[in-house]
Chains A and B, each alone.
Chain A
């Protein structure tokens, strides 16, 4: 009875948002001491279901039971008391606080009931570390430690609050293969030794296969299946998620690399704090090739891309697009030189959520004569027709071109960005995180579009936190560590594990230039 007992029970849970039924009559039991993977496309309702469990949202109907007790009031504080902990995709840590201070946050040990007791906080952190075998540098500021360690801090924070049931939302999205492996061994340990229950939300099917005991598949708000992991395989799960067979075709490459289209010479860039982020970096990108950047978040890849595209200033060095120097120009001027850009953060940079889908697809072409009457007045019909055509060509799904872009699901928002940027047909494409948070079906679509661009002769600089993606698409791969290139490889020349070593700076090739 100890194991196999249901610690969490969802009974006919539905969640209605305006216009969307995010969860549709979901009933599910999660057993003590298991690793349960919850998978599904974007907008399938995984996060909503977990937010209900964590007390962030109140279901429209249905009941949730935690350890045999019905949840009366949906409030994270109460749910945390009952032993549920959640590690969000975006960490909820205070960057300037130390690791120990973050762990005890909201339940701080005090001296004389008033003053924060730092020594006790560190002692508590060390005790937890010993108990669960998770080491962290408890006296260092969170902003100075790696993403993998930050995630451990989040886990320890939940454990400190007494969590027995741990929800991990896309935990491996920001990790290297080595860090992922470490995370998994941590999960296995807490489940085996401490009898904890872990719920993991993910897109990555091979990880489901590697870590979970059971897997639940969600589609369009419904729970469409619960399986013992040992009874299924990744291909089966993918079809269940999408509702049709998914075949990851081998992408077809054609053509030979042409002339140099993008050249970066001795580039130095500072991050937003003014510290060096890109150090003396040089690379060359040729027409008809994809150069992939493999790096752990925060190693200069974001700054490199933003400096090339003109979003942030260049400290020194040169950037040349199709033979024209564009160093330090405004994004619009660099675009005019023949470059388009898919930004890493689509909500903050890639779209205007308050504008319609049509307006978001138009920008960049709004001055073209076909969209203007009398040279100034917007030709709404022409704009709508154009948007409609792009909308269909890129298989965007939503409430149509007149709906607000901000109301779309993440995957469709990304398709809007891709559709707009690819439609410029520029010789150079800079693409960052093309499929972050995008579902399997859309990934397949986006990847084949990128490959199509390459085969048509575009020069593509690709940065992705998803190593599989970098490996799948790139002709060449560079690894970045602390703003420097630590290695350059032809695709197929190196394994993911070896790349991980270059990404963490434990190995490097001498005198690198890409």
Chain B
């Protein structure tokens, strides 16, 4: 696992990685006959040229941030939740269907119930790999990936079948929610909604619990050395299951926010591998909550900005290339820095020897 510390060395290597990634992106742009300067300019204006773009950036940062934090939570107890995508979809679907089924009831009833449904369904869905891991030692990476496919298919089945919208132009979607239940929009034309306040509150609680509390300390020790944690009297099996469940519930809530804040119905497109992007952000942030949140903002700028790129004729895949290249360099950085410090030590000893003689 990647080292757990955020320090100046980390910040420097992050900066260098980002720079190099943009350089690689520039080379690709040059080779394909685009001007890198123009393209990156279009990226910036794509993200900031209008309030609605800023709104989209914030909405996407919220999704990335919560997904990333969900991943942080699992990694803190040494479990790698790769199944957030499926948990998100399950949460989105059940939340949407609560709104459809209770159509007509007060928003004060529907929204809390929908949130609870998302938490419960996605949490239970994440409980499966958690229990399998603890009781039967089944690798959670495998189970969560497989359950992603199951969830995606199941949700599509429900959206095409029993819960299909009466609107025939929609192939796989549930009924549109009553507009009374929508989270209020914050910036005209953007997907940003009041859900971001709820998301901010959740992010704060997760950060607080992980970084400041005694349970967070116990989680950290469990993830660092489970054998030691159990030896010291912690019930690590319970902690792992609990963190997995909460991680799933958070993903489910992201699904609910997507439905009630942005899409207003369930369709498979409520998430386009958003969890995996959040997971990558968490990895780059070394599973540290604060860094995860900050980097979510950064990557949201890139992602929404890349849509501006489309307008100058550059496929927005350049965003994915930049993102993965950053990860690549961050992974290489560990070994590289070690080399560097080693040769620095060598030099300092050599020079001190010379000076002394």
Contact = CB atoms under 8 A, between A and B. Distances in A.
A377 B212 contact: yes
Interface string B316-357: 000000000000000000000000010001101110010000
Interface of A: 14, 16-18, 60-61, 309, 311, 330-332, 335-336, 341, 343, 348-355, 359, 362-364, 366-367, 371-372, 376-378
B231 A61 contact: no
Given A352-B225, A378-B214, A311 B349 contact: no
Contact of A14 (B215, B227, B349): B349
B231 A376 contact: no
Nearest to B1: A354
B46 to A, nearest CB: 41
Interface string B221-254: 1001101111111110000000000000000000
Contacts of B215: 376
Contacts of A16: 345-346, 348-349
Interface in B58-73: none
A353 B225 contact: yes
A422 to B, nearest CB: 14
Contacts of A366: 214, 217-218
B4 interface: yes
A377 B205 CA distance: 12
18 contacts: A16-B346, A18-B341, A61-B353, A311-B231, A331-B230, A331-B232, A332-B232, A335-B233, A341-B231, A350-B231, A351-B225, A352-B229, A359-B221, A363-B233, A366-B217, A377-B214, A378-B213, A378-B216
A18 B337 CA distance: 12
Interface residues of B, number: 28
Interface string B1-44: 00010000000000000000000000000000000000000000
A343 B220 CA distance: 21
A352 B217 contact: no
Interface of B is mostly: helix
Given A330-B235, A348-B227, A351-B228, 4 more contacts: A332-B233, A348-B228, A355-B220, A359-B217
A331 B216 CA distance: 20
B253 to A, nearest CB: 22
B216 to A, nearest CB: 8
B156 to A, nearest CB: 42
Contacts of A377: 212-214
Contacts of A341: 231
Contacts of B229: 352, 363
A445 to B, nearest CB: 23
B345 A60 contact: yes
A359 B221 CA distance: 9
B214 A372 contact: yes
Interface centre among A351, A354, A371 (most CB of B within 10 A): A354
Contact of B231 (A18, A349, A359, A367): A349
A339 to B, nearest CB: 10
Contacts of B216: 378
Nearest to B232: A363
Contacts of B221: 352, 355, 359, 363
Given A16-B345, A60-B349, A350 B228 contact: yes
Contacts of A60: 345-346, 349-350
Contacts of A355: 220-221, 224
Contacts of A18: 341, 345
A354 B3 CA distance: 9
Nearest to B237: A330
Nearest to B209: A376
Contacts of B349: 14, 16, 60-61
Nearest to A306: B231
Most buried by A among B218, B229, B231: B231
Given A60-B345, A61-B350, A352-B224, A331 B233 contact: yes
B66 to A, nearest CB: 22
